[in-house]
Amino acid sequence: MKIKVNDNVLVITGKYKGRQGKVLKTDPKNGTVIVEEVNLVHKHEKARKADQTSRIVTEEAPIDVSNVEVVCDKCGKATRVGHVVIDGKKVRVCKKCGASLDKAYAKKVKGGKAEPAQEEAPKKRTRKRTQKTDEAEG
């Protein structure tokens, strides 16, 4: 899943289409996210003790991750998430402007435009042979 907690996302389909909000919780196993002020449901809570009153609680319900897109902080547009390798770590970047979506690597991406992740060829393994000394040869 390319969406993380505290990302700003835009709902692209459904009843709440066009709304933006912060991701409060992710569930990669079910492929859902809970977004602030999106997909609100009403739950009825029954009074459990004599001094309590019954009430109706409004809370956010999960929405499928395919129905939201990450909003880039730099360009302000909803975008797909790309990846770039920086210092051996895979970093999420905006596909439109190239800015980093991960706060820790925001300054390490060159000038807003990032280079796409390139496959590095594995290094050839060479066996270190012990050097023969002149005495051993002669």
Q: Are 10 and 77 in contact (CB under 8 A)?
A: no
User: Alpha carbon of 24 to those of 7, 66, 136: distances in Å?
Assistant: 9, 16, 70
Q: Does domain 1-45+56-71 have CATH number 2.30.30.30?
A: yes
Four-residue CA torsion sign, 62, 18, 81, 106: negative
**Domain spans of the chain?**
1-45+56-71, 78-118
pLDDT tens, residue order, the chain (138 aa): 899 999 999 999 999 999 999 999 999 999 999 999 999 999 999 999 999 999 999 999 999 999 999 999 998 999 999 998 888 888 999 999 888 888 777 767 655 554 555 556 667 777 766 665 555 555
